[in-house]
Amino acid sequence: MNNIFKFSIVTSFLGLWITTHVPESFELIFGFILIFTFGMIHGSNDLLIINKILEKSKYYSKFSILTAYLLIVSLAILIFYLIPALALSLFVLFSAYHFGEQHWEHSFIKSNNSLKTVFYFFYGMFILYLLFASNTTGVKSIVSEITGYQIADLYSLPILLILGSSVGIVLTFELYSKRLSTEIVLTELFSLVVLIIIFNSSSLIWGFTIYFILWHSIPSLAEQIKFVYGEFKLETTLKYCKSAAPYWIVSLVGMVILYYVFSAEKHFYSLFFAFIAAVTFPHAFVMVKMFSKKKHNHK
């Protein structure tokens, strides 16, 4: 097991300990603090990564890249305001693929690209639905608050069976084809058991925070730092954070402004997910390009 995986396991159980020793209100506040720090920082350096991807290109300027990025973010916020049900659905779909890609890209090196794409989506959706199924009341409440629609049933069992079977079939096929090692598969099964325990023991926001920060954001930060600076160590991490700081501050200010302008007509969760979704859409695309560039560079 690599150091980041060990860190995720140990800190996840620390998060589980917090669940049993503090009130849910503390979980909520601490969860949002982590999301607005580590979570947002991991997506704050997209422009730096884009510039790294296009460093040899003569067809794109920094201004055009910044303009395109801001347009995508603005469009996402607009869709969330005008058609929240569509925006929330797209947010879940994009997040599912993004989570699956980040978690498995380093393992699916020799696999078929089409198979990888499908698997990433199904795996990420499986993780999210494990979380949803463990907190159905919270999910229904947030969906109702954001979209105005009341969900009668999440159909947790059949959907989990479909998603879990799909993930299992692909892993079995890859294992049989010797494109995945037994060690990797067993490690990932152990990870799923850990996440299931945490999701079933935590509130919706706290369970999401543990996965989003410890299993996604921190490993993603390590990948991004290695991509930009060539190695992941304290010095390059500090350089990354220094580069990301202005964008992170702008993002926080943007969230505050969004809340101030729309707080009279929108609830906090609506504004929170609108902002997170607005950043997620371009970030997920940037990460696809980053992994593609890394794969190309290693050929």
Tell me how crowded residue 2 is: count the other CB atoms within 10 A of its CB: 11
What pLDDT is attached to residue 128?
A: 94
Q: How far apart are the first and last CA of the chain?
A: 25
Neighbours of 52 (CB within 10 A): 15
Token code pair at residue 202: 């935590």
Distance CA 142, CA 164 (A): 25
pLDDT at res. 58: 64
With a pLDDT cut of 90, the percent of the chain lying above it is: 20
Instruction: Check whether 59 has a pLDDT greater than 70.
Output: no
Distance, in Å, from the CA atom of 121 to the CA atom of 93, rounded to the nearest integer, reads 8
Question: What is the reported pTM?
Answer: 0.88
In which band, very low, low, confident or very high, does the pLDDT at 124 lie, cut at 50, 70 and 90? very high
**Residue 263 dihedral angles phi and psi, to the nearest 5°:** -60, -25
What share of the chain in percent tops pLDDT 70?
A: 93
Q: Where are the domains positioned within the chain?
A: 3-297
Comparing 258 with 49, the larger pLDDT belongs to 49
